[in-house]
A and B are shown apart, each in its own frame.
Chain A
Amino acid sequence: MPTKDSATKDSARLAVRKTYKLFIGGAFPRSESGRSYVVTDAKGQFVANASQASRKDARDAVLAARGAVAKWSGATAYNRGQILYRVAEMLEGRREQFVAELRAFGVSATAATLEVDAAIDRWVWYAGWSDKVAQVVGGANPVAGPFFNISAPEPTGVVALVAPREPALLGLVSVVAPAIVTGNTVVVIASEPRPTPAITLAEVLATSDLPGGVVNILTGSPAEIAPWLASHSDVNGLDLAGIEDAQLATDLEIAAADTLKRLVRPAAVDWTADPGLSRMTPFLETKTVWHPKSFEGAKGTAY
């Protein structure tokens, strides 16, 4: 975190100021547009310069996310769970940094610590769901016939997420983790006023065995970027958690409907409460198959 006193405390050293970039396809590019915007705290004091993503960054992010779908959705649930748990380990290692970043926005020490702890716990909680969600939302269906009927959840594909403005970290984790744990890949627009924890999360993801492109993080204006994601034909799902402008939300829903996206509409959510399955199931598709219970050819065998 660049702060004013890091330079003044030890005047012999120049402040090493961080360049906040985007996270696309496992790399940290600057915005294609070359733009950045000033992030300030509650009192209007300078906190950081963040990249201001453009529609082309969103396009690149979708391309990266699409490229990662096969590998990520094809990984075993066990493997996905392991990787997500590894992310939680790395989050734990960066605890102090996350707390400091939240405090830079004027969040109290207690509240910041609570939020970071809750975010890490939530990540662990979702990691555990990777090999359990199929049993809860899928399973064998009772049918009146000589065949099995089995439903299994499958990931939707590429999901675009607009993270809540606040809480910046817990909100982000609460929309990203449930989408990727089931095998989706995501493009997420971080909180516009508080994007720094998102970029630190990106650094965590980049060093945690998560394949590049599974999570792509854009910072900038959701009002500018979200419409391009909502109308993008290669995006399969849309979570509008962070859209507070009702008119914009409606426009995005209409654009999403044109390409039959799965949609989570914006609603008042208590991000500290137990989320249940509410953010995992919207981005799952249920595939149902049947299979004969027995057939003549197999009679008398152990089949």
Chain B
Amino acid sequence: MTVTAPATDQVTGSNATLRAFLHGLPGVDKVGADARAAALGTRSIKTSSKVFAIDLAISMVDLTTLEGADTPGKVRALATKALRPDPLDPSCPAAAAVCVYPSMVADVREIVAGSTVKIASVATAFPAGQASLRVKIDDVRDAVAAGADEIDMVINRGSFLAGRYLEVFEEIVAVKEACGDARLKVIMETGELVTYDNVRRASWLSMLAGADFIKTSTGKISPAATPPVTLIMLEAVRDFLATTGRKVGVKPAGGIRTSKDAIKYLVLVNETAGDGWLDPHWFRFGASSLLNDLLLQRNKMKTGHYSGPDYVTLD
């Protein structure tokens, strides 16, 4: 796919120009994308490559808990786990970040301050995104003030699907401004975007508006992350880097539970965006139970025998 370098001001000047640009993006071949993602999913990753992939995947996990029943105690336990996923093995890498609601950021900070583990917070009336811009901005400021390093915002799918792209664009720009130094992950909730073409458009829209990461899902909607959707987003960040020179990260979230799935995603990353994205700074997994499965597989590779769920934490 070739996209001519858009002069941002011209494209984002009005809803009409933005719409013309987004609808001018090449359409996604759905059958082709599905087949490509499925074909890459059959790649066999064994022995030393598997060891490497598992450790890389652990270091890319945004360990997430976004439940109404979250307590400070639960969040602290999760943060502690992010620091040392396998307490018996210091060679096990730390997770990339802990992802929580804004009210829990301070609790995470107590545990992970001074470590490599980042604090990510969802904001902007997560997960629906149905609130006024003022409320959303306050939500973001709260989270940043509490010490969040990364903000996961949701776009307004209603506006996007209604074709009010400029509204979505301006909202992301405003949130990005409220983020200050915090990196902004834009959740597109691909499960609600209906078509792959919309996924590509939403990706470009988010990146044009200043997203540091594009993220598939909130995890509250099914389907959440799928390999073909992630493939399309990886193509988008690759093309965006080629046309604008700015690199954007990708975060599939929700529904990735096994090491096998995670490794399939890593293959997608390597084959689509390239190994420049095989880095926790540019690729993340939004997950909770995935980490346990990665640890079980890591133990299997290390000890030569199968491990069991009794040997990892209950989350």
Interface residues of A (CB under 8 A from B): 59, 62, 66, 228, 231-235, 255
Chain B residues near A62: list those with CB within 8 A.
306
Chain B residues 271-315 with CB under 8 Å of chain A are 304-311
CB neighbours (8 Å) of A231 from chain B are: 304-306
Q: For the complex, what is the distance from the CA of A59 to the CA of B307, rounded to whole Å? A: 10
Chain A contact residues, majority secondary structure: helix
Nearest-neighbour CB distance to chain A for B58, whole angstroms, equals: 19
Q: Least Cβ distance of B305 to chain A in Å?
A: 4
A73: min CB distance to chain B, Å: 16
Interfacial chain A residues near B307, Cβ < 8 Å: 233-234
Measured as residues with beta carbon below 8 angstroms from the partner, the interface class of chain B is under 10
Cα distance A234–B311 in the bound complex, in angstroms: 9
Distance, CA A255 to CA B307, complexed state (A)? 13
Instruction: Verify A234–B308 contact, CB threshold 8 A.
Output: yes
Chain A minimum-CB-distance residue to B307:
A233
Closest to A230 in B: B305
Residues of the B chain whose Cβ atoms lie less than 8 Å from the Cβ of A255:
305
With both chains docked as a complex, state the minimum distance between the C-beta of A250 and any C-beta of chain B, in angstroms.
17
- Please state if B310 and A232 are interface contacts (CB–CB under 8 Å): no
Q: Identify 5 new A-B residue pairs, CB closer than 8 A, beyond the known A66-B309, A231-B306, A234-B308.
A: A231-B305, A232-B306, A233-B311, A234-B307, A235-B308
Measured CB to CB, the closest approach of chain B to A234, in angstroms, equals 3
Whether the pair A232, B309 counts as a contact (CB closer than 8 A) is no
Which A-chain residue is minimally distant from B305 (CB atoms)? A231
Q: What is the CA–CA distance of A228 and B303 in the complex, to the nearest angstrom? A: 12
Chain A nearest CB, measured from B145 CB (Å)? 44
CB distance from B44 to the nearest CB of A (A): 13
Given the complex of chains A and B, what is the CA–CA distance between A234 and B305 in angstroms?
A: 10
A235 to B311 alpha-carbon distance, docked (Å): 12
A-B contact pairs, 22 of them (CB 8 A): A59-B306, A62-B306, A66-B308, A66-B309, A228-B305, A231-B304, A231-B306, A232-B305, A232-B306, A232-B308, A233-B305, A233-B306, A233-B307, A233-B308, A233-B311, A234-B306, A234-B307, A234-B308, A234-B309, A234-B310, A235-B308, A255-B305
Nearest A-chain residue to B304, judged by Cβ? A231
